[in-house]
Amino acid sequence: MEAGRLPQVGQLLDSPFLQEAVRKLSRPLVTETVRRVLGHYRKQRCFIKNEDDQAQLEADILSSCYKLIRTRQTRVINATGTVIHTNLGRSPISPELWEAVSELNTGYSNLEISLAKGKRGERKGLVNYLVGALTGADDALVVNNNASSVWLLLNELAAGKEVIISRGEQIQIGGGFRIPDIMRMAGANMVEVGTSNITTADDYLDAITENTAMVLMVHRSNFAIRGFTESPDIKEVARRLPKHVLLAVDQGSGLVTETFSKDEVPADRYLRQGADLVCFSGDKILGGPQAGIIAGHKELVKRLEKNPMMRAFRPSRIIYSLLEELLIRKLNGEECGRGIAERAQRNLETNRQWAERYLPEWGEHVSLFEDQLVIGGGTLPDEYYPSWSLELNSSKPANKVLDELREMDVPMIAVIRNDKVRINLATILPEDRDVVARQLTHYFMTTHTVEPSK
């Protein structure tokens, strides 16, 4: 383009076309975006000579703003069949629970004041009593995630001493969290026993010395070992351990009262079988907000609470209030007290019936298939459950269809199976069904092309 002019930043920021971007990003971020686009135009010696040039500039600015908006936290539809999806925020909080604690969290609360004494009180509130009622533990504490739980109990109870662990439980989870590394950072000395597939009670007991502080059993969160395997009876290990050696279990998944897994050991059973402490996630099978829960003997919990790092690990009032409400509803047997993993399996037939109502409208665009769901989130890595999926019949490449689903007003995250996009119904929340139906109907009417019959 010939030399001309470019509009001023302030002029563009006050233009109607940018007001939605300002609302979603803030004026400073949009200002930075506008300056970046204008700078590119200047380098390319592109200037505004007519209305078409102005329209192109505005389109380029909006495109850059849109890319930034796409990185913002936003609601999505989980159509993957992975119920507790780490990339999608793990367990959704029940709307009923969220509403129940809304007033508490938009005003002041008694987070650290005793209403009975009028003085500073403990942050724990009712949670420790509720966890005790759920698991049978003497006491409990809450930290910001289960990784913190593991580090805290190792640092407080085993720093400078030996911790015995099975070779088959030296796991690595997402983000590079490795048990050997966490032990070292917590100041504990790892003693490895057994083999990858077999560890016996004698393996633990034969490794004990005067400097042993703990036997740690760890949940295999994201893999399973099948075939020629053996794990010790925890009762036997607990019964035979010397008094100076603690038995701690990283149960991980948060399964307690749920009955859909035959292989997963509930947290409360570990305590009944003799574990001194059990830690698990609040935002997995339990169905609450992100949190780590440590339950067990009162004197050990009190020690953990006095660790200097506890202040860094402690959760906010939002977490405490949501956990309290969830546990109360769970103990009362209410539906919203069930975690998303349990609720998803109870909704399978309802989801199928919902999809069948739309099949005549969607016609040849979709097919209904029997499928599977997984719990996910580092919980039950080798267990699959029945589900139903909508398979999209498209002439477009499957990756292109996935991209288009993510571009919807409420992005839909689906999966590819056998070169076809599948929308797994198990993970579509009841409150999202109408949105899914509306978006799919619009999609089929506007952009979707049906794969020709062979």
Class of domain 94-337 as given by CATH: alpha beta
**Predicted local confidence at residue 101, as pLDDT:** 96
Q: What average pLDDT does this structure show over 244-256?
A: 93
Q: Do the beta carbons of residue 61 and residue 15 sit within 8 Å?
A: no
Q: Do the beta carbons of residue 292 and residue 277 sit within 8 Å?
A: no
- What's the sign of the alpha-carbon dihedral 95, 96, 98, 99? positive
Delimiting residues of CATH 3.90.1150.110 domain(s) in the chain? 77-87+342-446
Average pLDDT, the chain: 91
**Predicted local confidence at residue 178, as pLDDT:** 84
Q: How far is the C-alpha of 332 from the C-alpha of 338, rounded, in Å?
A: 10
Q: How far is the C-alpha of 10 from the C-alpha of 201, rounded, in Å?
A: 73
**Predicted local confidence at residue 383, as pLDDT:** 85
Q: Which amino acid is at 130?
A: L
Helix (H, G, I), strand (E, B) or coil at 420: strand
Q: What average pLDDT does this structure show over 424-449?
A: 91
Q: How many Å is the Cα radius of gyration of the chain?
A: 27
Which helix (DSSP H) or strand (DSSP E) does residue 280 occupy?
strand 277-281
pLDDT above 90: residue 393: yes
Q: How far is the C-alpha of 24 from the C-alpha of 74, rounded, in Å?
A: 11
Torsions phi, psi for 347 (to 5 deg)? -100, 5
pLDDT above 70: residue 4: no
Q: Do the beta carbons of residue 397 and residue 102 sit within 8 Å?
A: no
297, two tokens: 């003997």
pLDDT above 50: residue 105: yes
- Count other C-beta atoms under 10 Å from residue 44's C-beta: 9
pLDDT above 70: residue 221: no
pLDDT tens digits along 15-37: 999 999 999 999 999 999 999 99
Which helix (DSSP H) or strand (DSSP E) does residue 119 occupy?
strand 119-120
Helix (H, G, I), strand (E, B) or coil at 88: helix
**Predicted local confidence at residue 197, as pLDDT:** 84
Helix (H, G, I), strand (E, B) or coil at 292: strand
Q: What average pLDDT does this structure show over 303-330?
A: 96
User: What's the chain's length in residues?
Assistant: 454
Closest CA to 263 of 231, 295, 215: 231
299, two tokens: 């004197």
pLDDT above 70: residue 226: no
Delimiting residues of CATH 3.40.640.10 domain(s) in the chain? 94-337
Global pTM?
Answer: 0.90
pLDDT tens digits along 327-369: 999 999 999 999 999 999 888 889 999 999 999 999 999 999 9
**Predicted local confidence at residue 160, as pLDDT:** 96
**Predicted local confidence at residue 48, as pLDDT:** 83
Counting beta carbons within 10 angstroms of the beta carbon of residue 335, is it exposed (0 to 12), middle (13 to 18) or buried (19 or more)?
A: exposed
Q: Which amino acid is at 244?
A: H
Q: Do the beta carbons of residue 416 and residue 396 sit within 8 Å?
A: no
Q: How far is the C-alpha of 82 from the C-alpha of 341, rounded, in Å?
A: 9
Q: How far is the C-alpha of 126 from the C-alpha of 111, rounded, in Å?
A: 11
Q: Report CA-CA distances (Å) from 177 to 10, 150, 172, 277.
A: 47, 11, 5, 21
**Predicted local confidence at residue 380, as pLDDT:** 83
Which helix (DSSP H) or strand (DSSP E) does residue 142 occupy?
strand 139-143
CATH level 2 (architecture), domain 77-87+342-446: Alpha-Beta Complex (3.90)
95, two tokens: 């709307």
Q: Do the beta carbons of residue 246 and residue 268 sit within 8 Å?
A: no
Q: Which residues contact 120 (CB under 8 A, 6 or more apart)?
A: 112, 113, 114
Give the rounded percent of residues in the chain with a pLDDT score beyond 90.
Answer: 76
Q: Do the beta carbons of residue 63 and residue 111 sit within 8 Å?
A: no
pLDDT tens digits along 400-428: 999 999 999 999 999 999 999 999 999 99
Q: What average pLDDT does this structure show over 230-244?
A: 89
pLDDT tens digits along 124-168: 889 999 999 999 999 999 999 999 999 999 999 999 999 999 988
Confidence of residue 1 (pLDDT cuts 50, 70, 90): very low
**Predicted local confidence at residue 2, as pLDDT:** 44
pLDDT above 70: residue 452: no
pLDDT above 80: residue 210: yes
Q: Do the beta carbons of residue 248 and residue 214 sit within 8 Å?
A: yes
DSSP strands (E only) in 330-428 = 366-373, 385-392, 412-413, 415-417, 420-424
